[in-house]
Structure 1
Amino acid sequence: MSDNALGDFLRTRRAALRPEDAGMASYGLRRVAGLRREEVAVLAGVNADYYARLEQGRERHPSAQVLDALSRALRLDADARAHLHRLAGTASNDRPAARRDVVSPALRQLMDGYPHTPAFVLNGALDILAANTLAEALYSPFDPADNLARMTFLDPAARDFYPHWDWTAQATVANLREATGLDPDNPRLRALIDTLTERSAVFSALWRCHTVRGKTRDAKQLDHPDVGPLTLTYQAFDVRDAPGQRLVIYHAEPGSPGAEALSLLGTLDATRRRTAEDPRRR
């Protein structure tokens, strides 16, 4: 990972923004993609040399006001704006006080209390720390079902499991990019990113885009080999007593094909478990 995360982020987002996107006229031969440094400086109302120093890593402590101006100039959304502030050290209050990868018994009991809803707990590196039985059945095509990023980019099952794999890959990388801003010194996160960068050219290319996105609520389309297509919605909740952990719960619209498929998946999984526990059923 680069030691100039702030500069890398600014440079990449500048390159992704065309002059017409920012309401500027394009003139002259453009040797770089996107906006020039001088154009970003004008849009943000800052000195061009100062902005260049930010990108080059020679200036690492811009004020919150400068960051807000740059966020507007670069058309950053809320997730990307928060990430920019974290990289510059102006939003330290939302950084986890201490990493904790042990899921409490109370939370495990809560997840097990929802047998018809897949539920699992993630850390910032997208490791699956705990899951209820239906979540385990949902991710059973993966071996092992241990980390959502590794599963997406390195497990052969991912391309069939995620019908919109390209979108899933982009969202996964954007989640990890946000995590590096929240917890930049996390050795597990750094090791995962290094591994994925080395072993997946697609991950490496997406990582260089510096797209940032939090995991909150979204729709998922999956294709499970046992029950077929599933259209689900997920909600992600921060675990208050375990900084960095998130509880993710999948939900299918009642009466929908997705709900029927989840019910069938639960029945199949329960049958398999009973058979495995009782040799006489084999």
Structure 2
Amino acid sequence: MRDFLRSRRARISPGDVGLPAGGRRRTPGLRREEVAVLAGVGVSWYTWLEQGRDIKVSEEVLDAIARALLLDSAERAHLYLLAGLNPPQARSAPSVAASPEVRRLLDAWSPRPGYIRDRHWNFTAINDAARIVFGYGETDHNCLVSFFTNARYRVVHRHWAETAPEVAAGFRADAARYPDDPEFDRIAAELAEVSPEFAELWARHDVAEHTSAVKAVDHPEAGTLTFDATLLPLPEHPGHHLILHNPRPGTGTRERLEQLMRERNLVASHPG
């Protein structure tokens, strides 16, 4: 705590926060008393905080200090953790289209399937391999909805019944990160009306976190394809994730996948 707060105030000049310079300073940045004034707390209390003493700290005071020190969201969360508190809930961010850089990554990932979904599990980008392997069509706009309503996906997914509870629980866990966002409830309510399986699973209120999984499909042309699926967050777009599927070693998936995509004229040979 001491080192973090000292380093944050050392990088701010009085002019950055609308204070007069006040003559020569022995050390760069703001003085402790200036931070205390800006945050609306006592100088002694702030000094104790910076010294790491065992004092009671509220979220409101930490937010005031974060504003005084011009902390960004990552630094604010770090301050909370240093004070022994849980960071604030993530703020809702609008869904955004995939950047050109990430789209190029998806294209380069082919012939392996990949896609991007936003915090509501809406697809924002899908490569051709994902459409061909998993049967996603032009009407598939949401990963959760497609899992429970896309008949082709359900048929080819070898472990659909075993995976369904994890999928519903994962969506509920994501919804909990945005308690003030009604879109999660809307998606779940509309899906429950058309999918009895989802309605039953959603009513359980199970939650689960997962960043990786094994996904197996029985493709009508290529046979069984088994992938290690990895979910990677995109920090510049909170709530958005890149999901990449890599052929599982020893299953023959890579060879069958490349043959399938070659027949569709959508692949040049990829090493490894």
Where on the TM-score scale, by shorter chain, does this alignment land: which range? Answer: 0.5 to 0.7
Residue of structure 1 aligned with 2:212, choices 190, 198, 217? 217
Q: Structure 1 pair 263/212, CA: closer, same or farther in 2 (3 Å)?
A: same
Question: Does 2:127 correspond to 1:128?
Answer: no
**Would you say the 8 A contact 2:212–2:231 is kept in 1?**
yes
Q: 1:84-95 maps to which residues of 2 (within 5 A)?
A: 91=86, 93=88, 95=90
Q: Deviations over 1:98-128 (max 9, x none)?
A: 2333211111112112223211101222222
- Unmatched tracts of structure 1, length 5 or more: 1-89, 273-282
Question: Percent identity between the aligned chains?
Answer: 25
State the shift of 1:233 in Å.
Answer: 0.6
The CA deviation at 1:226 is 2.3
What is residue 189 of structure 2 aligned with on the other side? 194
Which residue identity is paired with 1:220? Answer: K
Identify which range, 241-250 or 193-202, moves more after superposition.
193-202
Change (3 A) 1:141 1:126: closer
Question: Distance in 1 between the 2:136 and 2:176 partners?
Answer: 31
Q: TM-score, normalised by structure 1?
A: 0.59
Higher helix proportion: 1
> One-letter code of the match for 1:202?
E
Q: Point out where structure 2 has 5 or more consecutive residues left out of the alignment.
A: 1-84, 268-272
Q: Deviation at 1:254?
A: 4.5
The separation in 2 between residues aligned to 1:122 and 1:229, in whole angstroms, is: 25
Q: Which moved more, 1:196-205 or 1:98-107?
A: 98-107
Aligned partner letter, 1:236: L
Name the residue aligned to 2:107.
112
Q: How does 1:177-188 map to 2 (within 5 A)?
A: 177-188=172-183
Contact persistence 1:124–1:244 (CA under 8 A): yes
**Of 200, 203, 210, the match for 1:205:** 200
Report whether the alignment pairs 1:154 with 2:149: yes
Partner amino acid, structure 1, of 2:166: A
| Aligned 8 A contact 1:111 1:132 in 2 | yes
Matches within 5 A, 1:243-258: 243-254=238-249, 256-258=251-253
1:237 aligns with 232
Return the structure number with greater relative CO, CA threshold 8 A, min gap 6. Answer: 1
Opposite residue 269 of structure 1, the aligned amino acid is R
Amino acid at match of 1:215: H
C-alpha spacing 1:227/1:94, structure 2 compared with 1 (3 Å): farther
Task: Name the aligned partner's letter for residue 191 of structure 1.
Answer: R
Query: Who is 2:77 aligned against?
Result: none
| 1:8-54 CA-partner distances (Å, limit 9, x unpaired) | xxxxxxxxxxxxxxxxxxxxxxxxxxxxxxxxxxxxxxxxxxxxxxx
Deviation at 1:174, TM superposition (A): 0.9
Residue 259 (structure 1) aligned with residue 254 (structure 2): yes
Question: CA separation of 1:141/1:223 partners in 2, compared to 1, >3 Å: closer, same or farther?
Answer: farther
CA distance in 1, matches of 2:129, 2:266: 13
Please name the residue that 2:264 is paired with. 269
Query: How many residues are matched?
Result: 184
- Partner amino acid for 2:140? A
Matched AA of 1:224: H
Q: Cα deviation per residue 1:105-155 (whole Å; 9 max; x = unaligned)?
A: 111112112223211101222222102221222233656332222112122
* Paired residue type of 2:160: W
> Does residue 258 of structure 2 align to residue 226 of structure 1?
no
Distance in 2, Cα, partners of 1:152 & 1:168: 10
Give the superposition deviation at 1:91.
4.5
Q: Bigger radius of gyration, 1 or 2? A: 2
